[in-house]
Amino acid sequence: MEIIQVQGRVLQFFEWNHMWRTIWTDGRKLPDDPDPRWFGYSVGKWEGDTLVVQSTGFDDRTWLDQFGNPYSDEMRLEERWRRVGDTLELTMTLTDPKTYTKPWVSEKKLFKLQPKEEIREEICVPSVEAEFNRRTRDPAAGVTNK
**Helix ranges (DSSP H) in the chain:** 126-132, 138-140
Rounded CA-CA distance 50/135 in Å is 31
Q: Is 23 exposed, middle or buried (0-12, 13-18, 19+ CB in 10 A)?
A: buried
List domains and CATH numbers for the chain: 2-119 (2.40.128)
Across the 146 residues of the chain, what is the mean pLDDT of every consecutive 10-residue run?
94 84 97 92 97 94 80 93 95 94 92 85 71 78 72
What pLDDT sits at residue 18? 77
pTM: 0.80
Q: What is the DSSP pairing of strand 87-95 with strand 76-84? A: antiparallel
Please state, in angstroms and rounded to a whole number, the distance separating the CA atoms of residues 40 and 71.
13
